[in-house]
Amino acid sequence: MKLFHAILIFFMLGFLLCAGCISPPSAPQSSPPPPVETPDVTALPTSAAPAPLVTINPESQPFNNKGNDLLNQGSYQEARIISGYIYDCSYPYGANKGISGATIQYGDSRTTSDALGFFNFTIMSGPDPELKITAPGFHPYDETPSGMVNGGFHLIPDAVYRGMYLVVWNPEKSNPQNWLRKWEQQTQFVIVRTGASEKQLNTLLTILKADKYRHMTGGRFSSASPPLMVDAKPTGSDRDGKTVISFAPGIEFGGIAHSESWDTSGVISYAEITWDTNQEIAPTFVWHEMVHTVTTGGHINEWPSVVSEVDSNGTIYPLDEQIFNCIYNSPPRRSN
């Protein structure tokens, strides 16, 4: 009996010891969080870049031309198609006499005009590039597309250039601005009859009706229409678009005349001629002074010319007419 009890106690102790070895099931463990990636700060922009002022075409690229470092100025060039004609300016306005074989160049890009004077080429440039235009027998011309007249650039023949220079660009007292002026509209002629004799007025009307004025403006404008007769010179804004002819005592022999541009455009706004009350009115004096109302105002004293102060008889010589044609085929403020 005692042996039975001992065995029973032995088994109970063993059971209790084994029970301590069994642990309750543990709670399921979650997966470890993925590692956090540290961004590469060298790949991020340091600051927001300002939006460009000019939208650049996909084909556009920075472009430097002969020292004009547009890239450093923050500017960009775009592919531009430039087309037009190269004309001889010595023909009347609108004649559009083409020059074949003229060279048009911008930087390293160049093209040549065809038999009609037409050219067409693509260049990398700003909005109004200055082109260099040359042709045998003509003075070189630097101009931008905005300076085209009647769809083309007008070159000055070498034989005409000297006279053009004297009338337009030669610095003298009557030509202090030294750039081209011309009318872009038909002027209204106004004659102030106060102080003038009937003979002076009638002679003046006859001369104006002969309309040599048309040959002084490239064929664009006329003096043939009857002028407005008034008793006093217009003032202020009433002068706009008018050519006023008047008489006053103490005016130098031959008369005085000039044109005015009231802004910097080079377009004539007003012109006037004044003669002495005792001046004989003759074609020599009328047409000489009239030249100064349609141009910048320079003189030609090197050969016979309507605008010569030493050899003038009122005749508009063929070379004179070619000079006037070139003026009226040019953009206002043409400089070369």
The first and second tokens of residue 304, run together, are 């016979």
pLDDT at site 307: 93
User: Which residue is listed with tokens 């005409």?
Assistant: 160
- Count of helices and strands (H, E) across the chain: 6, 12
| 48 vs 101, more confident | 101
Three-class secondary structure of residue 65 per DSSP = strand
Q: What's the rounded Cα separation, in Å, for the pair 247 and 250? A: 10
Nearest Cα residue to 127 out of 191, 192, 183, 79? 79
User: Which residues, in sequence order, are bridge partners of residue 112?
Assistant: 103
Mean pLDDT across 141-151: 96
- DSSP conformational letter for 247: E
- In contact, 259 and 297? CB cutoff 8 Å: yes
- Is pLDDT at 187 greater than 80 in this prediction? yes
Q: What's the rounded Cα separation, in Å, for the pair 203 and 215? A: 20
pLDDT at site 93: 97
- Is pLDDT at 67 greater than 70 in this prediction? no
Q: What's the rounded Cα separation, in Å, for the pair 245 and 230? A: 10
Mean pLDDT across 108-120: 97
- In contact, 316 and 304? CB cutoff 8 Å: no
- In sequence order, what DSSP letters do the residues of 98-109 get, joined into one string? B-TT-EEEETTE
Residue type, 185: Q
The answer to whether the 78-155 and 188-328 domains have the same CATH topology is no
pLDDT tens, position by position, 202-227:
999 999 999 999 999 999 999 999 99
User: What pTM value is reported for the model?
Assistant: 0.77
- In contact, 139 and 156? CB cutoff 8 Å: yes
pLDDT at site 313: 85
Q: What's the rounded Cα separation, in Å, for the pair 32 and 144? A: 72
Q: What's the rounded Cα separation, in Å, for the pair 98 and 114? A: 9
- Is pLDDT at 163 greater than 70 in this prediction? yes
pLDDT at site 201: 98
Give the CATH class of 188-328: alpha beta
Q: Specify the DSSP element, H or E, that contains 116.
A: none
The first and second tokens of residue 230, run together, are 């008034």
Three-class secondary structure of residue 84 per DSSP = strand
Give the CATH class of 78-155: mainly beta
pLDDT at site 48: 38
Looking at 48-57, 108-117, 185-194, 257-266, which range is the least confident one? 48-57
Q: What's the rounded Cα separation, in Å, for the pair 228 and 243? A: 10
pLDDT tens, position by position, 264-293:
899 999 999 999 999 999 999 999 999 999
The first and second tokens of residue 89, run together, are 């300016």
pLDDT at site 78: 87
- Domain ranges in the chain are 78-155, 188-328
